[in-house]
Structure 1
Amino acid sequence: MTNFSAIVLAAGLSSRMEGGHKLLMPMEGKTIFERSLKSITKADFSEIIVVLGKEAEKIESLISKDDRLRTVMNPTFEQGMTSSIQTGIAEATGDVYVICLADMPFLTAADYNRLLNRFREEHGKNILVPLYNGQKGNPVFFASDYRKEILEHTDPNGCSQLVKRNTEKVDFFETNNLRFTLDIDTQTDLDKFTNAE
């Protein structure tokens, strides 16, 4: 059985959100973080590792108990997304790392499970990337074969270069589901998406 480790990135600086931390912003009675995490905890992950950084205590206080879930602090979160991915993967024990963004409150447990099932099908590929109208989305899956490469990765802004270097191993999951690309970075995003729902 394949064990999937969800690496939930909740350590960012939230520098583009005016007036506070985006993950703590309210959205239909919950915070953006709570809505995002709820779908992840309802999906079939073996373990869930929430990587904390800025406002760590406030975000940690919103996490409901789940035996699969633990938190880890990224002491260098100001250095960018890659440092948080590396912090989570250093703790992960699964066969597959699923890089989940904590600012994607529209994804459902069914969306995550659809990707888990797709990865399980195995057709010689060991990276999975959702693709909406040609636009790469999230979450991105990496088999644990990439552990060393990810831990040694130096680009601070995530693993897109690693995906490019291993194109022949990438399974692009084509979807007409916009949710795989909807993250919230600014107040405008929040207003637009909240009104659109």
Structure 2
Amino acid sequence: MGKLKQTLPWGDRTVVEAAVDAALGAADVCEVVVVLGHEARSVAAALASRPRPRMRLVVNADYRLGMLSSVKTGVRALSDEIEAFLIAPADQPGISCEDYRLVVQAYRNARPRVDVVIPTYRGRGGHPTLFATGLRHEVLDLPYDGRGLRDLIARHEDRVLRAELDRPGMVADLDTAGDYERALEMMKTRMH
């Protein structure tokens, strides 16, 4: 896209502020770990006004290794007392507090049979994706082979719940300028 997606305008805030606000606003989310990588200072500055008691910023010095390195950095920073953790990209501002609630509710309703909840919209996997804390060490042991979390999910396929939800924001990526414009239009439509 050529621009730092996390700091693009999103209504009266930035993309990363909208993403973090959704997680902070979710009643079932006790802590939000924001992993900073490329342009860490710019992204941290965009979050300067956010409440710190429930939000921690951590820097991924290995961000050039890809998204999995950021996932691992975030997982390492998690508290030991959690029962599960959710992963959501900071450039998906269409994810709402309600989306987090629905994913956590799906997990609680399916326990103890489920270790992973992947929200889907029209069959397409989205975020936030939930992992039981028992998978934490497996996440940290994943190789940097370009497959990311896919191999882990495949290994535990019998314990994966794909929860079909009518929530298009869960799958709205901002990879191109066109994606960004479409997402902005979707947000404006939801607000009216």
Q: TM-score, normalised by structure 2?
A: 0.88
1:117 aligns with 2:100: no
The offset of 1:90, in angstroms, is: 0.8
Greater RCO (CA < 8 Å, at least 6 residues apart): 1
The alignment yields a C-alpha RMSD, in angstroms, of: 1.4
The offset of 1:86, in angstroms, is: 0.5
Secondary structure of the residue aligned to 2:18 is: helix
Deviation per residue, 1:22-62 (Å, 9 max, x gap): 11111223211111111111012111111001111111122
The offset of 1:128, in angstroms, is: 0.5
- Within 5 A, what are the aligned runs for 1:69-148? 69-93=55-79, 94-121=82-109, 122-148=111-137
Superposition misfits of 4+ residues, deviation over 4 angstroms: none
CA distance in 2 between counterparts of 1:158 and 1:66 reads 29
Partner of 2:139: 150
Q: Which moved more, 1:92-101 or 1:151-160?
A: 151-160
Q: Specify which of 37, 50, 53 is matched with residue 20 of structure 2.
A: 37
1:172 aligns with 2:158: no
The offset of 1:176, in angstroms, is: 2.2
Q: Unmatched 5+ residue regions in structure 1?
A: 1-16
The offset of 1:165, in angstroms, is: 1.6
Q: Which has the higher helix share?
A: 2
1:57 aligns with 2:47: no
Identical aligned pairs, as a percentage? 28
Q: Unmatched 5+ residue regions in structure 2?
A: none
Q: Specify which of 178, 181, 184 is matched with residue 174 of structure 2.
A: 184
1:193 aligns with 2:189: no
Partner of 1:27: 10
Q: Which has the higher strand share?
A: 1
How many residue pairs match? The answer is: 180
Q: What letter is aligned with 1:131? A: T
Q: What letter is aligned with 1:116? A: V
Tell whether the 8 Å contact from 2:7 to 2:46 is kept in structure 1 after alignment: no
CA distance in 1 between counterparts of 2:138 and 2:184 reads 38
Q: Which moved more, 1:44-53 or 1:186-195?
A: 186-195
The offset of 1:123, in angstroms, is: 4.6
Q: What letter is aligned with 1:160? A: R
Tell whether the 8 Å contact from 2:23 to 2:100 is kept in structure 1 after alignment: yes
Secondary structure of the residue aligned to 2:88 is: strand
CA distance in 2 between counterparts of 1:116 and 1:132 reads 16
Secondary structure of the residue aligned to 1:61 is: helix
Q: What letter is aligned with 1:55? A: E
Secondary structure of the residue aligned to 1:103 is: coil
Secondary structure of the residue aligned to 1:97 is: strand
Partner of 1:3: none
